Amino acid sequence: MGDKMKKVENPNGLELTGDDGSSLFIGEGRFSYTSSVAEQDILYLLQGAYYSELQYQKDRANADELVQEKVVQKAIKKVETVCELEKDETVNLLVGMKVDANRVLERQQLEMEKMDLQSSIDIGKFHEVTEDMISDECYYLVLGIVKNRIPLMGTQEPALITADEDAIYQSTYIELFIDGESIRDINVMGMFTLEIQNTEELISAEEACETIREKYDMQILSESYTIDKVWLEYIYVPDTQADNMYTQGNIQPYWCFAITNEEGSYGERVNAVTGGDLAYGE
C-alpha cells in the first residue's frame, strides 16, 4: 500500500485506503486487498468476458489445464501465508485462466453499447480499462478449501434451495488477480473456525439420489430433468436463531446435485449424514 493510509468508516469491519489508491478490508471471515481503485472494475469486466468459462461445474475438473502449474503453485503458497489453514485443510484450484486484454476490452465496448457503461465512466463511478492495464502475465484464479478431503462450498455453485429465504449460507473461496509475481487483487470469503459434523458414516451418492427421486415422484412435473453432476462437499449451515448467522452455525456434509430442465439449471442438496433435504431445512 502507499506511504500514507487512512481508516475508512465501515460497520462491517476494518477498512484502510492508501494514497496510491489501494485498499484493505478485514471483516468477519473475510479479507480483501486491491492495489488500485480500477482493479474491481477490471474484475467486473473479466467476469463478464469469461462468463462461460467461470461456471463452477464446467471448469472444476479441468482447471489445472487452463493455467501454468507454476502460476497455480505460487498462488497457493501466497494464499497459505494469508489464510491460517488447519492441518486437515488444503487449497485446490477451482477456476484458472490467463487473461486476454482484447477480450476484456471487447466486453467493455459491449457494455458501453448495450448497458450505458459510458455514463458511469463519465461521472467517475467506473474506471475505463485500457490495454496497458492488463499485461501478458495476468491470470485470474479462484481457489477453494478442502477439509478432510471434502471441498467446502465455493463460488459459482448451483443456486441453493432452502426453506428459510433469510438464512445465510456462506461460500468459501479465494479469488485472485495476479500480474507476474504481484497480487493485484485478492478476495478471501468464508474463512471461519466452526464445528464440523461427524463424517465417519455417510450415506452413499445412490442413497442421496433416491431421496431426490422420491421427492420428485411426489410432485406433478410437467417436464423432464437431468442430473448432470453429483459431488460431496461441506456446506456452512447457519443457526437461523442466532444474532450473527455469518459466524454462528456449523459445517455439514451434503451430496450436491447439479440439475437441468427445460427452464434452466439449479441444485439440490441432501445431507450426507441424515439423508435430509436442505430445501426443507434438514
Section 251-260 average pLDDT? 90
Q: Kindly list the distances between the CA atom of residue 128 and the CA atoms of 14, 41, 80, 102, 132, in Å, as whole numbers in the listed order.
A: 28, 8, 33, 14, 12
| Count of CB atoms situated within 10 Å of the CB of 48 | 15
Look up the pTM and report it: 0.81
Any bridge partners for residue 260, and if so which? 226, 265
Range with the lowest mean pLDDT among 34-48, 175-189, 233-247, 248-262? 233-247
Rounded distance between C-alpha atoms, residue 156 and residue 169, angstroms: 13
Rounded distance between C-alpha atoms, residue 138 and residue 176, angstroms: 10
Range with the lowest mean pLDDT among 57-71, 76-90, 153-167? 57-71
pLDDT category, 256, cuts 50, 70, 90? very high
Section 4-22 average pLDDT? 81
Percentage of the chain modeled with pLDDT above 90: 19
Contact status, residue 49 vs residue 107, Cβ threshold 8 Å: yes
What phi-psi label fits residue 13: left (phi over 0), alpha (psi between -120 and 50 degrees) or beta? left
Pairing of strands 249-261, 195-196: parallel
pLDDT category, 47, cuts 50, 70, 90? confident
| Count of CB atoms situated within 10 Å of the CB of 100 | 15
Q: Kindly list the distances between the CA atom of residue 68 and the CA atoms of 40, 64, 133, 138, in Å, as whole numbers in the listed order.
A: 24, 8, 21, 12
